[in-house]
Amino acid sequence: MSTWIDACAPDDIEEEDVIRFDHGGVTLAIYRLEDDRFFATAGLCTHEAVHLSNGLVMGKVIECPKHNGRFDIPTGQAKGAPACINLKTYPVKVEAGRVFVDLG
Amino acid sequence: MGTEPGIAPGIVPGIVIIGAGEAGARAATALRENCYAGPITLIGEERHLPYERPPLSKTAMTAADEPVAATILTDDQLAAHGIRHLSGVMVTDIDRAGHAVALDDGSRLPYTRLLLATGARPRKLSTPGAEAGNLLYLRTFTDALAMRAHLKPGIRLVVIGGGFIGLEIAASALERGCSVTVVEMAPRILGRAVPAEVAATVAEAHTAAGIRLVTGIGLASIEDKAVLLADGTRLDCDAIIAGVGAIPETGLAEKAALAVENGIRVNGQLQTEDPDIFAAGDCCAFPHPVFGGRRLRLEAWRNAQDQGNHVARAMLGDTAEFAAIPWFWSDQHDQTLQIAGLPDEGDTTVTRDLGGTTLYFHLKAGRLVGASAFGPIGKVAREIRLAEMLIAKRAHPAPAALADPSVKLKSLLAAEALAA
């Protein structure tokens, strides 16, 4: 069952950037890519639980600010050591000028 | 199965790695990632699976529960990669002519290619009284457990040495409720690797948190429960920790007549003068192409990772030069110090206001050679990472653009890409 949560306005996230979004004890990272697509993943790096919202988005890759673990944003796939475990991803939709995430 | 470089079929001793720390463990894994199919033996003196050292001075000290080592390679992963791990084993000699190493159990292990990832050991204080054995040093997980046992709430701790390790331990000890004094013999903390302006901000954070910093005064002697300074000050305490630098583990290389020059001397491929012996991590001194071939030896987690990855490819015949930009961090009191490049190469400093945190750019004849900042990770990390990429591109950004917070570093990077 879908549980769409109103997370932010599209312009709360700069192009090719990421913000942190907390809801019900879950920390997410919500991304806006250069082509204005939005994605959401688990907010903490799978290597050492560092907030990915402090990391750098380059293209469609997020890089952890602490140890440079890299993940593919659309799929959450870890791109090599030290990040070896994929990020959980969450569905995102933009509707009526708001960004919604589905926490499932 | 892959073919060994330079070895007749049927005789495949494989790759032997001495040292199971970050560089050695990373190299072992990277060999498999680069499709090497021969035998890999990873030899470590410690009786642990390979583990990460950065947490030793931080979470291993502050965690409420007894800490466990942050394992890099589990038994399952070692088995999956086909890596043979010898723990609690010391290499006593390298027989270069015979292409074999001698182990402390009397056995011999042949190699096709050998990697020295022997790391570094804490420098020991030579102050009178320092040899008595009450001083604590930090290198291994076992050291961390011993240190942690001393850091009880209310005890008086003296940390000798105001470098990264000393300051991280001081911050951790304060968090555990110890009363902490840091003694640094030099006029300021953090030494040459960190610009004076940044070091001053770090010093302020420590003082504000309640740590007493004593700088510019030498040591006279060490007693069981006191540190005596050259100016006559007596610091009574319950525990003494020394963090006064590290010495590269070069003993085996020297015994094997390999060149040592503040670390095992290697070329741009991390190869020693013996073409079948390589070195990586804290133990090696390598020339850096981005800084005019300046010979560096770095004691940093990221360098160990980068060199582990690079040396694996080099041992398989890749001739690319190692050119990763030096980068390191140090966490102290919920803030992070991050440095990219080599600030001490710079002749000019440009600052950018990150909203309460200052980012320092270090330029040499207009070229960006370093960047440094101390502040919340959310303000510091991305900007330092982008600066690192600009340094790698040997960029000459306009100082006015660097100083202006409204000019995104990403746009400067894009401009470099267009220019190239």
Residues 6+ apart with CB under 8 A from B82: B32, B39, B40
Give A-chain residues touching B33 at CB under 8 angstroms. 80
Distance from CA of A96 to the nearest CA of B (A): 30
Lowest mean pLDDT among B58-62, B165-169, B183-187, B368-372: B58-62
Q: Look at residue B5 and tell me whether its pLDDT is greater than 50.
A: no
Asked if residue B8 has pLDDT above 60, the reply is no
Residue span of the structural domain in which A16 resides: 4-102
CA angle A81, A85, A86 (to 5 degrees): 115
Would the CB atoms of A16 and B410 count as touching at under 8 Å? yes
Average the pLDDT over B350-372 and give the result: 96
pLDDT higher than threshold 80 for residue B286:
yes
More confident residue, B5 or B238: B238
In 3-state terms, chain B is what percent helix, strand and coil (to 5)?
30, 30, 40
| Segment B278-287 mean pLDDT | 98
- Which chain A residues touch B386 with a CB distance below 8 Å? 56
Report the pLDDT averaged over residues A42-51. 87
What is the pLDDT, as a whole number, of residue B121? 96
Q: What is the pLDDT of residues B251-267, one digit of tens each?
A: 999 999 999 999 999 99
Span B161-168, mean pLDDT?
Answer: 94
d(CA A2, nearest CA chain B) in Å: 31
Band the pLDDT of A83: cuts 50, 70, 90. Answer: confident
Output phi, psi for B135, to 5 deg.
-80, 140
pLDDT at B187 over 50: yes
The reported pLDDT for the residue numbered B2 is: 42
pLDDT exceeds cutoff 50 at B331: yes
pLDDT, one tens digit per residue, over B206-226 is: 999 999 999 999 999 999 999
Evaluate if residue B39 carries a pLDDT over 50. Answer: yes
Is the pLDDT at B284 greater than 70, yes or no? Answer: yes
| Predicted TM-score (pTM) of this structure | 0.88
pLDDT tier at B193, thresholds 50, 70, 90: confident
A contact test, residue of B72, B406, B410, B411 with most A CBs within 10 A: B410
Q: How many CB atoms lie within 10 A of CB B156?
A: 16
Chain A environment of B405 (Cβ under 8 Å): none
d(CA B181, CA B240): 10
At residue B375, does pLDDT exceed 90? yes
Q: What is the mean pLDDT of residues A16-34?
A: 93
The structure tokens listed for B358 are 């200052």
Residue B385 above 90 pLDDT? yes
**ipTM of this predicted structure:** 0.75
Q: What is the pLDDT of residue B6?
A: 42
Give the model's confidence band at B11: pLDDT under 50 very low, under 70 low, under 90 confident, else very high: low
**pLDDT exceeds cutoff 90 at B415:** no
Residue that has been written with the tokens 């073919």 in this structure: B3
Give me the pLDDT at residue B10, please.
Answer: 45
pLDDT, average across residues A14-26: 92
User: In B290-376, which residue ranges form alpha helices assigned H by DSSP?
Assistant: 301-315
Tell me what the pLDDT averaged over chain B comes to.
93
Residue whose token pair is 């509707």: A95
| CATH at A98 | 2.102.10.10
Judge: A66–B381 Cβ closer than 8 Å, yes or no: yes
Per-residue pLDDT at A96 exceeds 60: yes
Q: What chain B residue is nearest to A84 in terms of C-alpha separation?
A: B72
Q: Contacts of residue A67 in chain B, CB cutoff 8 Å?
A: 301-302
Instruction: Enter the tokens of residue B218.
Output: 């030498």
Q: By mean pLDDT, which of B111-115, B153-157, B164-168, B413-417 is the weakest?
A: B413-417
What is the average per-residue pLDDT within B64-69?
91
> Tell me, what DSSP letter sits at residue B109?
E
Q: What average pLDDT does range B175-198 have in this prediction?
A: 93
Q: What's the average model confidence in pLDDT over A39-57?
A: 90
Give the span between the Cα atoms of B387 and B383, in whole angstroms.
6
Angle between helices B196-209 and B164-175 (to 10 degrees): 20
Q: What percent of chain B has pLDDT over 90?
A: 87
Residue B3: pLDDT band (50, 70, 90) is very low
Q: Where are the beta strands (DSSP E) in A1-104?
A: 4-8, 17-23, 26-32, 38-42, 56-58, 61-63, 70-72, 89-90, 92-95, 98-102
Domains identified in chain A, total number: 1
> Which residues 124-153 of B have a C-beta within 8 angstroms of A?
none
A59 touches chain B (CB under 8 A): no
